[in-house]
C-alpha cells in the first residue's frame, strides 16, 4: 500500500539546487565538501526544528525501511537482557519484520475495531525484562492515532525505551515529544524517496556503530528538510479544513452508498486520511475506475496477486480486507473536489458490483 505524496514544488527546487551545490562528500575538507556539510547541517537543523527536537538528535538513513531497522538495532545491543519486543498488530510490516528479525520474542498487542491500541493492554504486555516497545504515532492505512503519550509516560517509569514510527504522521500533525527513538519518511510528506529520518533522544542508550561507514545524500536531505517545513506549515494552515472534508466524506459515504463505510477512528485520526470499505467489490477495480476520472487513491486489498496477503492492519481491526480505498487528501483539496468524488464514487461502486453479482 502506497502512502507517498508527490514531491512538492519547494522540495523539488531544493533538490535541484542541492544537486549542484551539495554533490561533494561532506566529510572531506575541500571547499565544495565544506559547502555540502553546511547544507547537511542546515537540513538537520530544519528537520529538528520541524519535529521539535535537538539538531544533534537527527540522523539520516538511505531509506525509511533502514531507519526502522536501525531504530531497533541501535537500542538492542545496550539493553540489559535479551527480553521481549512489545509492539502492535497494526505497525507497518517493516517494523514487525524488524522486530522479528532480532530473534527476541515479539509480543504483538491487538487493536479495537478502529485500529487503536488500548494503552492499558499495551503497558500490561511489557514485562520487567522487555527490551523495547514499538508503537506508531498514527496508522499508515487508516490514519488512526495511537496513545503514544500515555504509553510513553508509563513505560518511562518502567525504564523501557519507546520506538515511535512517525512515517504516516510526520508533516501532518505535531509529533508528541515522547519517544526514545523516532522514524519518519520524507516520501510520505512530499519529500524525496531514498532517504529516511531517524531521531535518537539525547540520553537514550544507543549503539551508533552501525552508522560508521554510511554516507548521507546531501541533496535528498536538503529536499526532505524543505518538504517537512512546507508540509508542517500547510498542516498548521489547512488541517482543520481538510479534516472537516474527511468528516464530510465519512458521513456521506455511509449515508449515500449502500454497504459502504469509513474505517479507522472517526476523531482520533490524521487530518487528511480517509479509508473506505465498499462491500462486494474488489478494491483494485475501484482504484482503476477512480483513476480514469482523475482520482489517485490506494487499495488495501490483495485480490489480484497470489503472493499478496490481505492487509494485516485491516484484518487486525476485524475489518473487511477487500473493497478498501485509502484516500490521502492533499492540503489544497477543495470542497468542489470532494463533491466531485462523491458524485463519481456511488456510480463506480454500483458498476463494479454489477460485474460481480
Partner 1 sequence: MTQPEPRTLLDERGSRCPLPIIALSKALAGLAPASIVEIIADDPAADADIPAWCRLKGAHVVESFAAPDGLGGVHYVVQLPG
Task: Give the footprint of partner 1 on this chain (CB under 8 A).
Answer: 113, 261, 279-282, 301-303, 309-310, 314-315, 318-323, 356-357
Nearer to partner 1, 106 or 303 (CB): 303
Provide the 3-class DSSP secondary structure of residue 41.
Answer: helix
Phi and psi dihedrals of 36, rounded to 5?
Answer: -65, -40
Provide the 3-class DSSP secondary structure of residue 96.
Answer: helix
Q: b/e string for 125-148 if b means 16 or more Cβ within 10 A? A: bbeeebbbbbbbbbbbbbbbbbbb
In the sheet where 196-200 sits, what is the strand order?
58-61, 196-200, 181-184, 162-165, 132-134, 85-88, 106-109
Nearer to partner 1, 84 or 321 (CB): 321
Cα-to-chain-centroid distance, residue 334: 24
CA distances 63 to 45, 97, 257, Å, are 20, 15, 40
Shortest spacing between CB 356 and partner 1, in angstroms = 6
List the grid coordinates of 194.
531514498
Shortest spacing between CB 211 and partner 1, in angstroms = 39
CA dist., res. 227 & res. 193, Å (int)? 12
Angle at 57 (CA atoms; ends 54, 62), nearest 5 degrees: 135
CA dist., res. 78 & res. 75, Å (int)? 6
Shortest spacing between CB 329 and partner 1, in angstroms = 25
Q: Which helix (H) or strand (E) holds 233?
A: helix 218-256
Q: What is the DSSP letter of 26?
A: T
Q: What is the DSSP letter of 29?
A: -
List the grid coordinates of 142.
487508516
Shortest spacing between CB 84 and partner 1, in angstroms = 26
Shortest spacing between CB 114 and partner 1, in angstroms = 13
Q: What is the DSSP letter of 177?
A: S
Amino acid at each position: 500500500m502506497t502512502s507517498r505524496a508527490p514531491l512538492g514544488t519547494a522540495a523539488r527546487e531544493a533538490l535541484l539546487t542541492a544537486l549542484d551545490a551539495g554533490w561533494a562528500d561532506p566529510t572531506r575538507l575541500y571547499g565544495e565538501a565544506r559547502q555540502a556539510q553546511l547544507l547537511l547541517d542546515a537540513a538537520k537543523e530544519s528537520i529538528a526544528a520541524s519535529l521539535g527536537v535537538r539538531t544533534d538528535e537527527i540522523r539520516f538513513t538511505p531509506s525509511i525501511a533502514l531507519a526502522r531497522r536501525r531504530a531497533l538495532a541501535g537500542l538492542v545491543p545496550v539493553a540489559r537482557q535479551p527480553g521481549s519486543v512489545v509492539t502492535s498488530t497494526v505497525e507497518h510490516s517493516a517494523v514487525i519484520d524488524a522486530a522479528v528479525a532480532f530473534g527476541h520474542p515479539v509480543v504483538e498487542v491487538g487493536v479495537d475495531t478502529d485500529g487503536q491500541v488500548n494503552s492499558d493492554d499495551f503497558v500490561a504486555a511489557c514485562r520487567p525484562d522487555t527490551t523495547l516497545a514499538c508503537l506508531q504515532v498514527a496508522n499508515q492505512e487508516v490514519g488512526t492515532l495511537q496513545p503514544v503519550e500515555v504509553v510513553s509516560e508509563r513505560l518511562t517509569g518502567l525504564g523501557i525505551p519507546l520506538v515511535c514510527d512517525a512515517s504516516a504522521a510526520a508533516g501532518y500533525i505535531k509529533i508528541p515529544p515522547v519517544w526514545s527513538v523516532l522514524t519518519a519518511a520524507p516520501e510520505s510528506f512530499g519529500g524525496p524517496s531514498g532517504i529516511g529520518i531517524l531521531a535518537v533522544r539525547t540520553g537514550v542508550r544507543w549503539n551508533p556503530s552501525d552508522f560508521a561507514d554510511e554516507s548521507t545524500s546531501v541533496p535528498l536531505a536538503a529536499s526532505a528538510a524543505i518538504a517537512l517545513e512546507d508540509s508542517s506549515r500547510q498542516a498548521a494552515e489547512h488541517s482543520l479544513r481538510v479534516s472537516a472534508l474527511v468528516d464530510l466524506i465519512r458521513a456521506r459515504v455511509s449515508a449515500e452508498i449502500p454497504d459502504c463505510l469509513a474505517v479507522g477512528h472517526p476523531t482520533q485520526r490524521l487530518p487528511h486520511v480517509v479509508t473506505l470499505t465498499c462491500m462486494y467489490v474488489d478494491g483494485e477495480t475501484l482504484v482503476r475506475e477512480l483513476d480514469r476520472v482523475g482520482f489517485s487513491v490506494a487499495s488495501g486489498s490483495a485480490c489480484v496477486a497470489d503472493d499478496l496477503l490481505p492487509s494485516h492492519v485491516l484484518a487486525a481491526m476485524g475489518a473487511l480486507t477487500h473493497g478498501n480505498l485509502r484516500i490521502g487528501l492533499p492540503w489544497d483539496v477543495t470542497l468542489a473536489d470532494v463533491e466531485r468524488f462523491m458524485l463519481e464514487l456511488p456510480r463506480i461502486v454500483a458498476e463494479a458490483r454489477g460485474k460481480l453479482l
